[in-house]
Copies of this chain bind each other. A is one copy, B any other.
Amino acid sequence: MKTALVTGGAGFLGSHLCERLLNEGYRVVAIDNLYTGTRAHMKSFAKNPNFTFIKADISDGRILNTETLRRREKNARRTSLCLCASVLKKTRFDEIYNLACPASPVHYQAKPFLTTMTSINGVLFCLELARKDKAKMLHCSTSEIYGDPLVHPQEEHYWGNVNTIGIRSCYDEGKRVAETLIADAIRETDVDARMVRIFNTYGPRMHPQDGRVISNFIMQALQNKNITIFGDGSQTRSFQYCDDLINAFRAYMKLPKAKIRAFFKKHKLGAPVINTGNPGEYTIKQLAEKTLKMVNDSAVRLRLPTSTSRIVYKPLPGDDPKKRKPDITLAKALLGWEPRIPLDEGLAKTIEYFKRLTANR
């Protein structure tokens, strides 16, 4: 039986990954500080005997400092950091998935320091465990490392266009330096790490107040509020359904290190990193119209009143990328993977999730 660690396991994507791994017969340990993740996301598998949840903060540099933690263990046996250390000491992980990090502007801008240090210390923590256990490690990077890109679509050789001192920088630069730490760790220690740059991903368990465009639009339509477009709505985004992304994670983790190394050497990339996203491109305006129509169609089917929401326009916030679309050539070639869920299908599932969520309140 294989054992996996999922940091950010109570989050939107982390909880889907835990569920998938448990379904595939893994023993799963999830760590989360519950800043944006919630126990509700883990409800369907929380009682699975193969699942362990630890509330701990991987941005805390002491998490692997055994000297400090041993002392804590005596003094305060029940602190979460201490529990974490004791589970980690007992467990040998085969696979480590580093998903922890606030990922929506509304959350990461509220705690910029936590965000940057989650990226940095989270990576150091996972690298240390991966070396100790000779585990495979998958790190979640982000399309945000491309910033407001000057090339379109973005492929992995593109270096990005990111502001170091703006209000998005805590996330973007934290994720950039996390890639650097991993690339150097691979060169120095031969640790078996691999990275994905995740483009816009949506689905059930997204945070309803995360300020991101899909959750915003659905919640606004369901609550009969105006649907807010920032800017003129001509900026485009690509939308990947969560299950597609989890498929990419699993396919990537199944590959042996040697194959990965050879692939990236051939492609002249300094570290094993691939884009995962859905290249289908929609303007924000198209998405708003589609969401409103689908919410209304669903209401009509159920003979309920349709949404009274209207689409309104507001000024664009600082540093918002105007255009972003993944080039997934490498992921296709390496994993034989591509996204399969069309936007309409994913959106329907997500709308159903948000309807249940708002009904339960």
Residues on A lying within 8 angstroms of B by beta carbon are 61, 68, 112-113, 116, 120, 145, 147, 150, 159-167, 169-170, 173-174, 176-177, 179-185, 187-188, 269-271, 273
Q: Are B177 and A116 in contact (CB under 8 A)?
A: yes
A273 proximity list for chain B (CB < 8 A): 165
Report chain B residues within 8 Å CB of A116.
Answer: 177, 180-181, 184
Across the two chains, which residue of chain B brings its CB closest to A71?
B71
Judge whether B112 and A184 touch: CB under 8 Å: yes
Is B179 a contact of A176 with CB atoms below 8 Å? no
Q: Are A177 and B177 in contact (CB under 8 A)?
A: yes
Please give 15 more A-B residue pairs, beta carbons under 8 A apart, in addition to A145-B164, A147-B159, A173-B180.
A68-B68, A113-B184, A120-B120, A150-B150, A159-B162, A159-B163, A160-B162, A165-B179, A165-B183, A165-B270, A165-B273, A166-B183, A167-B270, A169-B184, A174-B180
Contact A173 B176 (CB under 8 A): yes
CB distance from A323 to the nearest CB of B (A): 16
Which residue of the partner chain, among B169, B179, B184, contacts A180 with CB atoms under 8 Å?
B169
A188 touches B271 (CB 8 A): no
Q: Are B165 and A113 in contact (CB under 8 A)?
A: no
> Given A68-B68, A120-B177, A176-B176 in contact, is the A183-B159 Cβ separation under 8 Å?
no
Known A145-B164, A164-B160, A164-B176; judge A181-B113 contact (CB<8 A): yes
Alpha-carbon distance between A186 and B161 when the two chains are bound, in angstroms? 23
Q: Could you list some 14 contacts between A and B, CB below 8 A?
A: A61-B61, A112-B184, A113-B181, A113-B185, A145-B164, A159-B163, A160-B164, A164-B177, A166-B183, A169-B183, A169-B270, A173-B179, A176-B176, A177-B177
A170 partner residues in chain B, CB cutoff 8 A: 180, 184
C-alpha spacing A224/B62, complex, angstroms: 52
Instruction: For residue A165, give the distance in angstroms from its CB to the closest CB of chain B.
Output: 4
Collect the chain B residues with CB atoms within 8 Å of residue A160's CB.
162, 164
Residue from A61, A167, A181, A269 having most chain B Cβ neighbours under 10 A:
A181
Q: How far is the CA of A68 from the CA of B271 in the complex (A)?
A: 36
Q: A112 to chain B: which residues have CB within 8 Å? A: 184, 187-188
- On chain B, the residues within 8 Å of A159 by CB distance are 147, 161-164
Q: Which residues of B contact A165 (CB under 8 A)?
A: 179-180, 182-183, 269-271, 273
- Chain B contacts of A182 at CB under 8 A? 165
Chain B residues whose CB sits within 8 angstroms of the CB of A187 once the complex forms? 112, 167
| Docked complex Cα distance between A270 and B116 (Å) | 17
A164–B174 CA distance with the chains assembled, in angstroms: 11
- Bound CA span A64–B248, Å: 42
Instruction: List the B side residues contacting A120 at CB < 8 Å.
Output: 120, 177
Least CB distance, A226 to chain B, in whole angstroms: 30
